[in-house]
Amino acid sequence: MVSPNWIAVDWGTTRLRVWAMNDSEVLENRSSDKGMGSLDRDGFEPALLELVEDWLGDRPVPVIACGMVGARTGWVEAEYRPTPCTPLDPLRATRPVVRDPRLDVHILPGLSQIDPPDVLRGEETQIAGFIAQNPDFQGTLCLPGTHCKWVIISNGQVEGFHTFMTGEVYALLSRQSVLRLTIGDAKPDLPGFLEASAQAATNADMAAAGLFPLRAAALLNGMTPEQGAGRLSGLLIGSELAAAHPLWHGRRVIIIGAPELSALYAQALTQAGADAHQMDGGELVLAGLTAAASALTRTP
Amino acid sequence: MVSPNWIAVDWGTTRLRVWAMNDSEVLENRSSDKGMGSLDRDGFEPALLELVEDWLGDRPVPVIACGMVGARTGWVEAEYRPTPCTPLDPLRATRPVVRDPRLDVHILPGLSQIDPPDVLRGEETQIAGFIAQNPDFQGTLCLPGTHCKWVIISNGQVEGFHTFMTGEVYALLSRQSVLRLTIGDAKPDLPGFLEASAQAATNADMAAAGLFPLRAAALLNGMTPEQGAGRLSGLLIGSELAAAHPLWHGRRVIIIGAPELSALYAQALTQAGADAHQMDGGELVLAGLTAAASALTRTP
């Protein structure tokens, strides 16, 4: 019989993950595919109850949630806190109206930036988890994925950040453009990746000029899908590194994300002269949610 | 009763267009949506006969075809002729095996380039039509579309060319990426287009760095879909102009393509200091096919 004193929730576009917590101890965890993208406004409370109902007792339990659940098209829109600021302020969480009185839901705010305009939602909790574990860190976090977030951390604050759509652009070009005939789902070949990322990191024109030649090289020179995947990934990540240069140059960089993609970023960054290190960020979200819960219970 | 002495065929990925010709005179024209993309190998001859059968008499009629009908996945693969060379050599056309003896089909070759690797198929016939009408032209043709072709013309020859996937990238990003929520099918706003194309033409990093800020500007600053469309189009075309600089700088540029898209290229090129002029290229394909037919009938 699990009886948490709070519940941690990571609610993204495609997944819902929940943890039954006793302070910082995990009692149990569950997940479902009821991500924000598949739910309308009335679907959030039932989707949550489906996973947590047998953890609830007589009294309201704090539920601390982060991610796209707080987007404009989510359960209820949570605010964006303007940077520079600490990554989390749980007192500014948004509290959706719920029917079940045993749920006391707090949706954590995201972060925004005025110039250049940028937003993030969900990553602020990973960042808070990282800072909770590494309170003295000064440098840049690189969080690759569908969208890659570069986040400058200084004295426990997020000084600024920049989002690149590289992962999404790669997926669209490799699977839906004319390059699908050349690349598709092939895994990137490392030598081709490193060569192309070096070219694009020093010549930003390559990202535009180098795309169609991948199709032509397959037709004329028998370039393999793996070589094409490596070169496409290298062109896109290399041009991201060129554009993100002020965010990593002269700073310590920690890369946190899916292992294979993070390894590509680590190798391209190292080749470009950066001080870059890969880190397993598996449970940073939970660490951030725990920090938020702890801050909430400390308040009167 | 139309009785052509040859038939002109422009057979692209999505459309099939045919003209009943008497030398250079058009007797009649027809079209269907049986483009190469919707046909398997056995479907080409029936699709052609459907449009031209009542034009055929007792004797074989030359049918001169260009476009994706000659792709590897088309009716039969036509070769690529390596540049530098004249745009057309109808004697190197590929002749598919046909069942109907009244059809004498010639599929014109495309063009290729070794470094950087590139290919084109169909545009060589437009280029030949342009040169037939402008035999003394020295400069660059810019053919915008799903893929934009930049073609250097010198003394009636194609000296070199470069394909950019800008149109396809725009379509994928505006309709299928996260930017669909911000842009969709909105028409580009001209001031936003010109500002973004100037930024990207002088700072190639903008094409990678400027994408996600379009989403954030819509969320934070109420940027309209038209402004977003203008900025996205400007970022992509501007970075194309930066990468294509050696192809247009110091040369006369003629832009041939759909009027609205061509007008964007013309304004961005002029803003970047190019000597660029828009031209209606509506019937250049037919002019090129006519030049090919004339060359074929002159041969013994």
Which of A147, A177, A204 shows the shortest C-beta gap to B212? A147
Shortest Cα distance, chain B CAs vs residue A152, angstroms: 16
Both tokens of B109, joined, read 């070759």
Name the band, by pLDDT with cuts 50, 70 and 90, for residue B141: very high
A164 in contact with chain B, both atoms CB, cutoff 8 A: yes
Q: Tell whether A220 lies on the interface with B, counting CB pairs under 8 A.
A: yes
B 271-290 residues with CB below 8 A of A? Answer: none
Identify which of B300, B299, B296, B298 has the alpha carbon closest to the alpha carbon of residue B104.
B296
* Rounded Cα gap, residues A238 and A192, in angstroms: 12
pLDDT for A300? 47
B15 touches chain A (CB under 8 A): no
Q: Does B158 touch chain A (CB under 8 A)?
A: no
Which chain B residues are within 8 Å of A163, Cβ to Cβ? 212-213, 216
| Cβ contact A118:B216 at 8 Å | yes
What is the tens place of the pLDDT at every residue in B20-55?
999 999 999 999 999 999 999 999 999 999 999 999
Which residues, in sequence order, are CB contacts of B274 under 8 Å at separation 6+?
B241, B248, B249, B253
Q: How confident is the model at residue A299 (pLDDT cuts 50, 70, 90)?
A: low
Kindly report, residue by residue over B110-119, the tens digit of the pLDDT. 999 999 999 9
Tens digits of residue pLDDT in A199-213: 999 998 999 999 999
Architecture of the B6-121 domain:
2-Layer Sandwich (3.30)
Question: Mean of the per-residue pLDDT values for chain B?
Answer: 95
Beta bridge partners of B28: B20
Q: Which CATH class is domain A163-279?
A: alpha beta
Given a contact cutoff of 8 angstroms between Cβ atoms, the answer to whether A8 and A69 are in contact is no
Confidence bin at B299 (pLDDT 50/70/90) = low
Can you list the positions of beta strands (E) in chain B?
6-11, 16-22, 25-32, 61-66, 80-82, 103-107, 110-113, 118-120, 139-143, 148-154, 157-164, 252-256, 275-279
pLDDT confidence of A159, banded at 50, 70, 90? very high
Residue A204, token pair as written in the block? 């930003």
Q: What is the pLDDT of residue B272?
A: 96
Question: What confidence score (pLDDT) does residue B300 get?
Answer: 46
Is pLDDT at B259 greater than 90 in this prediction? Answer: yes
Radius of gyration of chain B (CA): 21
Domain ranges of chain A: 6-121, 163-279
Identify which has the larger pLDDT, A294 or A297. A294
pLDDT reported for residue A204: 84
How far is A103 from A47, CA to CA, in rounded Å? 13
Which residues lie across from B209 on neighbouring strands? none
Q: What is the arithmetic mean of pLDDT over B169-184? A: 96
**Residue given tokens 């192809």 in the structure block:** B247
Q: Are B232 and B176 in contact (CB under 8 A)?
A: no
Quote the CA–CA distance of B251 and B10 in Å, as a whole number. Answer: 30
B171, HSE (Cβ side, Cα atoms, 13 Å): 12
Task: Give yes or no for residue A255 having a pLDDT over 60.
Answer: yes
ipTM of predicted complex? 0.93
Could you give the angle at the alpha carbon of B219 between the alpha carbons of B208 and A85, nearest 5°?
A: 85
pLDDT digits 0-9 by tens, A282-296:
789 999 999 999 998
> Is B222 an 8 Å CB contact of chain A?
no
Q: Per residue in A263-277, pLDDT tens?
A: 999 999 999 999 999
Residue A62 gets which letter from DSSP? E
pLDDT in tens, B273-298: 999 999 988 789 999 999 999 998 77
